[in-house]
Structure 1
Amino acid sequence: MTFSAAEHEAMRRALSLAATPGVPRGPNPRVGCVLLAPDGSEVAEGFHRGAGSGHAEVDALAAAGEDARGATAVVTLEPCNHTGRTGPCSQALIDAGVRRVVFAQTDHNPVAAGGADRLRVAGVDVAGGLLADEARDLNRAWTFAVEHDRPFVTWKLATTLDGRSAAVDGTSRWISSRAARLDTHRLRGECDAVLVGTGTVAVDDPELTVRDEVDDPVAHQPLRVVMGERDLPDQRRVLNDRAETLHLRTRDPLEVLTTLFARDCQHVFLEGGPTLAAAFWQAGLVDEVVAYVAPMLLGSGASAVGELGIGTIADAAHLHVADVHVLQGHDGEDTNVRLTMTVGRR
């Protein structure tokens, strides 16, 4: 495919629009669109603002009006071919008289796919693949979920330098620093569901909400999910009204992910204890690990992860370190290191 310099520049702008802060998480991907006049100048731009709102193409077309006729639409995702809360973007582009469509990422969602073919049949010039990797990175969890029919799983853990998640007496507050806890809330807010086991609820009584710097809950909350067969103790904070809570009475990680995928969850934040983490790992259902490492030693106590069935160093699980970040408090003492790692076995 051949793309003009103006189309490259427009796609970078469209990616920036798609990543606009404040767009609520949900079942839809983040998408941006820029309309170009025949001379390469920008006519209008738009982006998707969340489920139920106009898609990026429709947003840009509304801003352009009659100037969309004869334009090139540069969009980060193949225009959809689906009628849901809104009509198909492919047909909206055809109706507006757009002459060319350039998109980055192909839409593999079987519900929405086929927009490029619909455009071509209508006589629109279509070219795909421009900055496709950047578009995939922007919607990595959504892309993974669509391609694997299950949510992307990020396992978060907090550990001492010697791999302990709690002391011998069971105490674990606070292994992670305040800076690390604030960072955890940020990551929670990027996910569709936060998942723990019934044991964590019984022992630690977490609220599992996303909270700001002064510990107030933010407006948009992920689904709180507890898995396990036993009843939840009364008056647990996870049962309060600050967010929706789902109790799945199963110990099967794949069953949980299948249920959550059916509820339009594309990204699960796994915050359970060592037993739950080991169950997901052994099932091959961990895609990313975020570890907050505290500069402290306990010597003994609960391990950060349970039995993995590894008996020799040759069978050790290897991860790829994608990012290392030092999280430091204002006093310089409240410090953790955040390691973000991808699982290399896929």
Structure 2
Amino acid sequence: MSSQHAAHLDRTFELAEQGLGGVAPRPSVGAVVVSEGVIIGEGITEPRPGRHAEPIALAAAGDKTRGATLYCSLEPHAFQGVAPPCTEAIIAAGITTVVSPIEDPNPSVSGNGFRQLKAAGIEVVRSATNQQIRRAELLIEGFTHHLNTRRPLVTLKLATSLDGKIATRTGDSQWITNSSSRSRVHEMRRQTDALITGIGTVLTDKPRLTARDSDGNPTGRPLLRVVVDTHGRIPADARLLQEPGEVLWVVGEGIDVTAPTDSTSIQKAGLIDGKINLAEVIDELGTRGLHTAMIEAGAGLAGAFIEANLIDKVSAFIAPKFIGGTEAPGPLAGTGISDIGEALTLENLTHTVIDGDILVEGYVLKVD
């Protein structure tokens, strides 16, 4: 594979990453049109009912598409849905080569896009490095998970000291991790479809639950912010309610509440031992077509999600600090396990050093 070929494919991944967290129930796709080694058009999937990445890139390239090459991060869409088939636009544009590393896992596509292009005489190139294939798969991991389970991929985000504390014995927690780690968290928020927290965090920390850029400006993400609030205690002047974007307020069945803003919707969920049935919350997100959800919550809600077996992935930021003290809280509350063999275990681990902090990520090993 030439360095130029690899660079054009990498550019599609960069574009797709920009769309993450903003286009569900569609997968985020990046596409570029290349003529004589030069990119002449780029596209990113738009939210429904907008266009897919490939037609956007083709339109940007204008009348220069005939004989050009199209690179895309995912197999082109091949059926009539909300948007017309991308394959038809590619064929009509006179593209001669399509470079795309992976098939669309949607059964309505699943190789049909590649087959349609080949039938039209277009060369389909699947060559990519293992690293590029993995990157392409990660871009759609939430989409794939939703296809298989009808639920979003749920990530638990944690931030602890090296001795596993999330605050001091007096409750001081700002800041355990460094500014670079916090910037990474904002990028994770931007790329997730739903951000989940509990009423305790809302009352104590007064968060906005938004993704913000380096200047502190909200990016318009995530699509949905979720507050788990069994007894309906969220105050009308809560800081998160002053931010644009929809809030899903989850209260217990039988709790009589009124939406405090036009952008707040209410879900009345069943109770288990007096607390919200969290599976109903995740099911609601899946019904909305959301592919990914991230939990940023206190020890109580985080532990409840663990005990309900609703976590698919963990992103743990670990700061090189020791807090100490038996009264300093850890990241997970609840009953916990009695047998070490029952411990939640992660697989496919990665670790990244972020200015001294360590980000450990892995997927929950599912036991039948």
TM-score, structure 2 normalization = 0.75
Distance across 1 between alignment mates of 2:241 and 2:65:
50
* 2:46 alignment partner in structure 1: 50
What is the Cα deviation at residue 112 of structure 1?
Answer: 5.5
Q: 2:21 is matched with which residue: 25, 28, 34?
A: 25
Q: Percent identity?
A: 30
Q: Does 2:107 match 1:104?
A: no
* 2:241 alignment partner in structure 1: 239
Q: Secondary structure at the match of 2:195?
A: strand
Distance across 2 between alignment mates of 1:190 and 1:218:
10
* 1:195 alignment partner in structure 2: 196
What is the Cα deviation at residue 129 of structure 1?
Answer: 4.2
Q: Does 2:297 match 1:297?
A: no
Moved more, 102-111 or 41-50: 41-50
Q: Does 2:124 match 1:130?
A: no
What is the Cα deviation at residue 311 of structure 1?
Answer: 1.9
* Distance of aligned partners of 1:252 and 1:172 in 2 relative to their CA distance in 1, 3 Å threshold: farther
Q: Secondary structure at the match of 1:203?
A: helix
* Distance of aligned partners of 1:213 and 1:93 in 2 relative to their CA distance in 1, 3 Å threshold: closer
* 2:287 alignment partner in structure 1: 262
Deviations 1:281-333 (A, max 9, x none): 233332322223341323123331124642233443333541132446xxxxx
Deviations 1:228-252 (A, max 9, x none): 4210332222222343211123323
What is the Cα deviation at residue 273 of structure 1?
Answer: 1.8
Distance across 2 between alignment mates of 1:233 and 1:67:
55
**Alignment check: 8 A CA contact 1:209 1:243 kept:** no
* Distance of aligned partners of 1:139 and 1:9 in 2 relative to their CA distance in 1, 3 Å threshold: farther
**Alignment check: 8 A CA contact 1:69 1:97 kept:** yes
Matches within 5 A, 1:23-102: 23=19, 25-26=21-22, 27=24, 28-35=26-33, 44-48=40-44, 50-51=46-47, 52-65=49-62, 67-69=64-66, 71-84=68-81, 86-102=83-99
Distance across 2 between alignment mates of 1:92 and 1:144:
28
* 2:210 alignment partner in structure 1: 209
* 2:265 alignment partner in structure 1: none
* 1:248 alignment partner in structure 2: 250
Distance across 1 between alignment mates of 2:293 and 2:116:
34
Q: How many residues align?
A: 329
Paired AA for residue 5 in structure 2: A
Q: 2:343 is matched with which residue: 303, 309, 316?
A: 316
Unaligned runs of 5+ in 2: 252-268, 270-275
Unaligned runs of 5+ in 1: 329-336
Paired AA for residue 270 in structure 1: I
What is the Cα deviation at residue 220 of structure 1?
Answer: 4.0
Deviations 1:147-175 (A, max 9, x none): 44321222112223332334445x13325
* Distance of aligned partners of 1:43 and 1:326 in 2 relative to their CA distance in 1, 3 Å threshold: closer
**Alignment check: 8 A CA contact 2:150 2:287 kept:** no
* 2:304 alignment partner in structure 1: 279
**Alignment check: 8 A CA contact 2:183 2:214 kept:** yes
Moved more, 42-51 or 199-208: 42-51
Distance across 1 between alignment mates of 2:332 and 2:141:
26
Moved more, 159-168 or 298-307: 159-168
**Alignment check: 8 A CA contact 2:12 2:72 kept:** no
Paired AA for residue 353 in structure 2: H
Distance across 2 between alignment mates of 1:162 and 1:112:
48
Q: Does 2:224 match 1:223?
A: yes
Paired AA for residue 303 in structure 1: G
* 1:332 alignment partner in structure 2: none
Q: 2:353 is matched with which residue: 325, 329, 336?
A: 325
* 2:365 alignment partner in structure 1: 345
Paired AA for residue 31 in structure 2: C
**Alignment check: 8 A CA contact 2:317 2:359 kept:** yes
* 2:174 alignment partner in structure 1: 174
* Distance of aligned partners of 1:49 and 1:280 in 2 relative to their CA distance in 1, 3 Å threshold: same
Paired AA for residue 114 in structure 2: A
What is the Cα deviation at residue 259 of structure 1?
Answer: 1.3
Distance across 2 between alignment mates of 1:141 and 1:60:
24
Distance across 2 between alignment mates of 1:216 and 1:46:
26
TM-score, structure 1 normalization = 0.79
